[in-house]
Amino acid sequence: MNANSKIIINTIPKSGTHLLLQLILGYMNKTEYRWILKEEEINDIKPGEVILSHLEYSDNAHRMMIDNNITMIFGYRDLRDISVSLVHFIVKNQYNHPMNPYLTQHFPSHDQRLLAIIKGAKENPANPNSPYVIPPIDYYAKNKIQWLKAKDVCHVSFEDLRVSEKSLDKSLKRIIEFLNEGQTNQTFLDTKINQMKKNINHSKSDTFRKGVIGDWKKEFNEHHKKAFKQIANGLLVQFGYESDDQW
């Protein structure tokens, strides 16, 4: 890994995207980054760039990543906590979120809004062909799960970065070893881990709210749980957060 390396930080939305960004910028000793929105843009990534994205998986995107010698770090999080984070983010409307008017005007209470985020909502519920104004929660992850299964991608959960200092250090060690194909020594690891941690500054992330693990346990009622299990429990199992639907 050198100054000309190409790195994509690819995440499920609300999965600690900017935390991962700060860590990688700290590792690379850089301050600049940019977003890409479409897989075609992978071919335009220049040497030395740090890229943020929410790219869905496709064989074509994976092939372009390999052909362009790009390193991907994939960030994910418990979709139940993403649900909670997302509803607060949309209601806060910090960036004039396109879902804000519909969510706030059609769903007057927080519980109703959270349920809408989980189930999705259509402009005309009676019309099965009506497009989702608010997509169901599995939309954000179902087309990204294949990145988790790709052996040439470094997978990092939000929880591992937040649960404890020991877990953070372990995750950073794994990232560093991945970036360097295992060619590291303890001095190098200690230096880079310290460098990465020093670059964490939640006040510089406009999207950071609480960063709490398991916040869904306080906000989900039985209706939320039932709806989530019907829509996205399979993803919870695939991502390793549950072994079945008995939660």
Q: Looking at the domain assignment, is residue 243 inside a domain?
A: no
- Residue 209 clears pLDDT 50, i.e. is over it: no
Residue 123 in this model has a pLDDT that exceeds 90: no
Q: What is the mean pLDDT of residues 19-43?
A: 96
Q: pLDDT over 70 for what percent of the chain?
A: 96
Residues 161-190 have a mean pLDDT of 94
Q: Output the average pLDDT for the chain.
A: 93
Domain with 174, as residue range(s), is: 6-77+142-204
Same domain assignment for residues 68 and 90? no
Beta bridge partners of 34: 51
CATH of residue 53's domain is 3.40.50.300
Residues 53, 97, single domain; the answer is: no
For the whole model, what pTM was predicted?
Answer: 0.91
Residue 24 pLDDT = 97
Rounded-to-integer distance, Cα 89 and Cα 205, Å: 13
Q: Do residue 91 and residue 194 come from a single domain?
A: no
**Residue 247 forms part of a structural domain:** no
- What is the 3-state secondary structure of the chain? CCCCCEEEEEECCCCCHHHHHHHHHHHHCCCCCEECCCHHHHHHCCCCCEEEECCCCCHHHHHHHHHCCEEEEEEECCHHHHHHHHHHHHHHCCCCCCCHHHHHHHCCCHHHHHHHHHHCEECCCCCCCCCEEECCHHHHCCCCHHHHHCCCEEEEEHHHHHCCHHHHHHHHHHHHHHHCCCCCCHHHHHHHHHHHHHCCCHHHCCCCCCCCCCCHHHHCCHHHHHHHHHHHHHHHHHCCCCCCCCC
Asked whether residue 214 falls in the same domain as residue 188, the answer is no
| β-bridge mates for residue 35, sequence order | 52
Give domain status of residue 113, yes or no: yes
What is the per-residue pLDDT across 65-109, written as a single tens digit (0 to 9) for each? 999 999 999 999 999 999 999 999 999 988 889 999 999 999 999
Mean pLDDT for the stretch of residues 162-181 = 95
Structural domain count of the chain? 2
Note the pLDDT of residue 125.
Answer: 75
- Are 220 and 187 members of one domain? no
pLDDT at 82: 97
> Does 46 share its domain with 84?
no
Same domain assignment for residues 116 and 129: yes
In a domain, residue 161? The reply is yes
pLDDT mean over 159-184: 94
